[in-house]
Amino acid sequence: MGVDLHLHSTASDGAFSPEELVKFAVKLDFTAIAITDHDSIDGIVPALRRAGDFDIEVIPAVELSSDLEGRDIHFLGYFIDYKQEWFLKHLSKLRQARYERAVKMVERLQEMGLEIALKDVLQEAGKGAVGRAHVARVMVKQGCIDSIEEAFERYIGRKAPCYIEKYVYTPKDVIKLIKRLGGIAILAHPGLSQVDEKIPEFIRYGIQGLEVYHSNHTPDDVRKYSKMAREYGLVITGGSDCHGLGSSRGLIMGSVRVPDEVVENLKTLKDLQKNNP
């Protein structure tokens, strides 16, 4: 059994549809999953519908980016009231920022002599929130580079020449958004974010947990953040952060099997919030 609470679908930069993610999860004998697309909730309803055919729970969720002193910090929101109109307006603003970044990134790549067109990137993204992964996939398809990893390392990674910053909220604002949605705010993959010294500050803003289990976390990371979660009284969560084939990580659903009790702990927090607004 087990759960995976960090999955990306074609509603953002994942390679698999929400329905396909549900089917994969069923094959892996998961009891619950969360579709945590970047700046998008469009994968939630299709996943919920598909899950109705199986004995598996889909948790409404989202992954939101923030910037702190030039560092990209992500937060996960679980059990969110994703139908709120005011939230959809926020997502629309963030998706527009993603589009504008893609335009500038393609222009910079073209200036470097790479034959890549914006229309191809948008076609790759489909109806999903456009991201760097879509740019990287087009670069591979066009034969500009040999792999997704090369695209990020040489061209569009944070320290690469064609990287473009996009508009994002502050950590405080992102956490506030998730809380206003009635969700549980979690700091995503702290081993990658490297902001341990900021965790007490995030707790004051309202985070209630750490993503301890993650495909890029080492056993030492898991022990470290498990201990930190206990010390701060935070819930432990986790997931593979699967983006599917054609991503830098590949199809990694199943590489991280999070205990079922994690979902129960999140539900307990949700109930406490509901009873103590």
11 burial level (CB within 10 Å; 0-12, 13-18, 19+): buried
Write down the pTM of the prediction. Answer: 0.89
Q: Which residues 6+ apart lie within 8 Å of 184 measured at CB?
A: 77, 78, 79, 178, 208, 209, 235, 266, 269, 270, 273
| Residue 87 tokens, joined | 């939230």
Q: How many helices (DSSP H) and strands (DSSP E) are in the chain?
A: 11, 7
pLDDT at res. 159:
86
pLDDT interval class at 249 (50, 70, 90) = low
Query: Domain spanning 101-156: which CATH class is it, in words?
Result: mainly alpha
Q: How far apart are CA 178 and CA 209, in angstroms?
A: 13
Coil, strand or helix at 110: helix
Could you give the residue range(s) of every CATH 3.20.20.140 domain in the chain?
3-90+168-275
Which of 21-25, 67-71, 196-200 shows the lowest per-residue confidence on average (mean pLDDT)? 67-71
Q: Are 185 and 169 in contact (CB under 8 A)?
A: no
pLDDT interval class at 35 (50, 70, 90) = very high
**Which runs of consecutive H residues, i.e. helices, occur in the chain?**
18-27, 44-51, 85-111, 118-125, 132-141, 148-151, 171-180, 190-193, 199-205, 219-232, 261-275
CATH code: domain 3-90+168-275 is 3.20.20.140
pLDDT at res. 128:
81
* Amino acid in the structure at residue 224: K
Residue 269, phi then psi, degrees to nearest 5: -65, -40
85 burial level (CB within 10 Å; 0-12, 13-18, 19+): exposed
Could you give the residue range(s) of every CATH 1.10.150.650 domain in the chain?
101-156
The pLDDT tens digits for 51-100 are 999 999 999 999 999 988 888 899 999 999 999 999 999 999 999 999 99
Interior/surface letters 232-246, b for 16+ CB within 10 angstroms, e for the rest: eebbbbbbbbbbbeb
Identify the helix (H) or strand (E) that includes residue 6. Answer: strand 3-7
